Chains A and B, each alone.
Chain A
Amino acid sequence: MNEETIYALVFLAWLAGAAAFVLGLHQMNSPATARGGNRLSAGGMAVAVLATLIWLVVRPGGLGNSPLPLIIIVGGFAIGGGIGFVLARRVAMTAMPQLVSLFNAVGGGAAALVAIDDYIRGVSIGEMEVSTAIFVVLGAVIGSVTFSGSLIASGKLQGTVPGRPIFFPGSRLLTVVLALGTVAGFLLLVLSAAGVVALTPELGLIVLGLIVVAALIFGITMVLPIGGADMPVVISLLNSFTGTAAAMAGFVINNPVLIIAGALVGAAGGILTKLMADAMNRSIANIMVGGFGAGDGAAGDAGPGAEGGNVREVGMDDAAIQLAYAQKVIIVPGYGLAVAQAQHAVRELAELLEDRGVEVSYAIHPVAGRMPGHMNVLLAEANVPYPQLKEMDEINPEFDRADVALVVGANDVTNPAARSNPASPIYGMPILNVDHARSILVIKRSMRPGYAGIDNELYVNPKTGMVFADAKDGLNQLVAAVKLV
C-alpha cells in the first residue's frame, strides 16, 4: 500500500470514531441507553487512537530511526492511562465530581501543549502562517485557562481550596489586566506572523510563554471568587472550553478528528452548562461574576440560634415513634448524607419502616449532592430501588400528604426562603416543599448554615424537630430505636 491509501484508511477510521462520539453522546440523553452510549463512544476512541498508532508506524519512514517517539507514545499512554484508570476505579462516588474536573484539567493541558509545541517548531524553521498563529494562541490560552481553572474547581470540591468565594484586594483589576495582556500578546504574535511586526523567534517564544502564564493565572482568578455550590456549572463550562481547545489544536496540526470531536464537546458542553444552570435557576453570567452567598456569610455564622430558643430538639425515641407510626415518610437526602457514607444506613431505616407498612420514598433535588444526578448515583450504589427515587416535580405535591419528611444532611434545597424571601440569595431556586409535610425531622450535626452560607428558616418552623447527630450515627441510632418501638 502506498502512503495515500494508508492515510485514507486512517482517515476513515478517524471518521468512524467521530461518528461514534456523536451517536454515543446522543444515546446518553436517556437512562435506558446511556451506558451503551458511553461504551460506543469509548469504542470510537479506541479505534481512533489505534488507527493513529498504526499510521505512525506503517507509513513510509515510520517513526524514524530513533526509538524515542514510540517510547514516548507507548510509555506515556501506559503511565497516563494507568493513573487515570486507577483513580477512576478507586475514587469514592462522593469524590467523583472533583475527579471529573481533574480529568478535564489534564485534557485542557494536553490541548495547550500540542498548540505550544507546534508554535515552537513553526518559528524555529521560520514558518508561521497567520491562521496557524491564531489557532496556536487560542488553543494555548483556552487550554491553559481550563487547566488551572479546573484544578481550582477540583480543589474547591475536595476541600483543599476553601469552597467559599475568595476575593483578594485588586482581584478584579488583576483579572482585567491579565485578560488585556493576553489579548495584546495575541495581537502581537498574529501581527508578527503576518510580517507587520518583526519578532525574533526567541522573542516570539517569550511572548507566547507570557501569554500562557497570564492564562494560567486568569484561570485561577476566574474560579476563586465562585462559591463551591456553583462548581458543577463551572466544571461543565470548563469542559466545554476544553472541547474548544482541542478543536483549536486540531486546526493547528490540521487533524479532522480533533476538530470534529472538540467542536462537538464545545457545543454540547455549552448546552449542558445551560441546562444545569437552569436546573439551579441560576444564569451562567451570574455564576461567573461570582460571590454567591458572600454577602450573607457573616450573618450566617450567627445562625438561627441567635434568635433564641425557637429551635426544637427531639430525642431519638420520639423521632423513631413519629417515623414508625407514620403512613407516609419522605426521605430528603443531601450531601451531608453522602459525606457521612450513610447511604446504607438510610436504606436500612427505609426497609425497616416498609416492613411496618410505612410508605417510603426519596425526594431527589436536581442538585442534591454536589452535582446534578450525584445523589441518584450514591443511592443506587447502596441498592436503593430505583422506583423509590422521585424527582422534585414528581414528589413536591406528595409532601402535602406526607406524615413525616426526614431531612438528612440536606440544607439549602429545603430552605423556604427560596420561595418567600426575595432578599435571599437563593430566592427563585426551585426547592423541595419539605415544609408542607405534617411534621419534619432534620438530622444535622449542628446549626451551621449550608453550602450557600445562609440560614434555613425551616429549622425554626414549629413543625420541625431537630435531631443533632452525624448523619450515619443518627440514622443507625434511629434504626435501633425503631426496632424497639
Chain B
Amino acid sequence: MSPELLNALAIFVLAILVGFEVISKVPATLHTPLMSGANSIHGIVLVGAMLIAATADNPLSYVLAFVAVVFGAANVVGGYVVTDRMLQMFRKREMPPPRSDKPE
C-alpha cells in the first residue's frame, strides 16, 4: 500500500471517531434538522464531481461528470436551505426566557 493510501486511511479512521463523538445528547426536537444538516455535508461529493469533470476527455465521462455535478449541487444547496428553514423555529424571540444563572 502506498504512503498516500496509508495517510488517507489514518484520516478516515480519525474522522469516523470524530463523527461518533460530535453527536452527543440531542433533544428529539433536533433529530430531523441534525439529520438534514449531516445530509448537506455529504454533498461535499460535489467537489469530487468537479474534479472528474475537469479531467473528462470523452463523451461518456462528460455525461457522468455532468450528472454527478447536478446531483451534488442539488444535495448541497437544497440540503442547507431546507435545514435552515427547519431551524428558523429556534429564532431568538421564540426561545424560552433566558436563564441568567447559566455561566458562559
Contacts and interface: CB of A to CB of B under 8 A. Distances in A.
Interface of A: 14, 17-18, 21-22, 24-26, 28-32, 34-35, 37-39, 41-42, 45, 48-49, 52-53, 56, 63, 68-69, 72-73, 75-85, 87-89, 91, 93, 96-97, 99-100, 103-104, 106-107, 109-111, 113-114, 116-118, 120-121, 131, 232, 235-236, 239, 242-243, 245-247, 249-251, 253-272, 275-276, 279, 364, 366-367, 371-374, 376-377, 380-381, 385-387, 391
B35 A236 contact: yes
A373 B76 contact: no
Contacts of B97: 387
A51 to B, nearest CB: 9
Contact of B41 (A120, A235, A264): A264
B60 to A, nearest CB: 7
B27 A31 contact: yes
Nearest to B5: A131
A376 B48 CA distance: 36
Contacts of A85: 77-78, 81
Interface of B: 1-2, 4-5, 8, 11-13, 15-20, 22-56, 60-62, 64-91, 94-97
Contacts of B79: 84, 88, 100, 103, 107
B40 A45 contact: yes
A192 B88 CA distance: 52
Nearest to B4: A254
A76 B69 contact: yes
Chain A residues touching B, majority SS: helix
Contacts of A251: 5, 8, 12
A37 B23 CA distance: 13
A82 B74 CA distance: 7
B19 A271 contact: yes
Contact of A100 (B53, B60, B82): B82
B80 A42 contact: yes
Contact of A81 (B35, B42, B77): B77
Given A22-B22, A110-B46, A110-B72, A31 B31 contact: no
Nearest to A86: B78
B53 A69 contact: yes
Contacts of B36: 100
Nearest to A114: B48
Contacts of B85: 88-89, 93, 96
A48 B42 CA distance: 12
Nearest to B70: A80
A72 B69 contact: yes
A242 B8 contact: no
A81 B76 contact: yes
Nearest to A374: B32
A347 to B, nearest CB: 13
A48 B16 contact: no
A374 B90 CA distance: 13
Contacts of A41: 37, 40-41, 80
Given A37-B37, A106-B75, A373-B33, A259 B8 contact: yes
B91 to A, nearest CB: 8
Given A100-B39, A114-B48, A114-B49, A83 B74 contact: yes
A29 B24 contact: yes
B45 A22 contact: no
Contact of A113 (B1, B12, B39, B67): B67
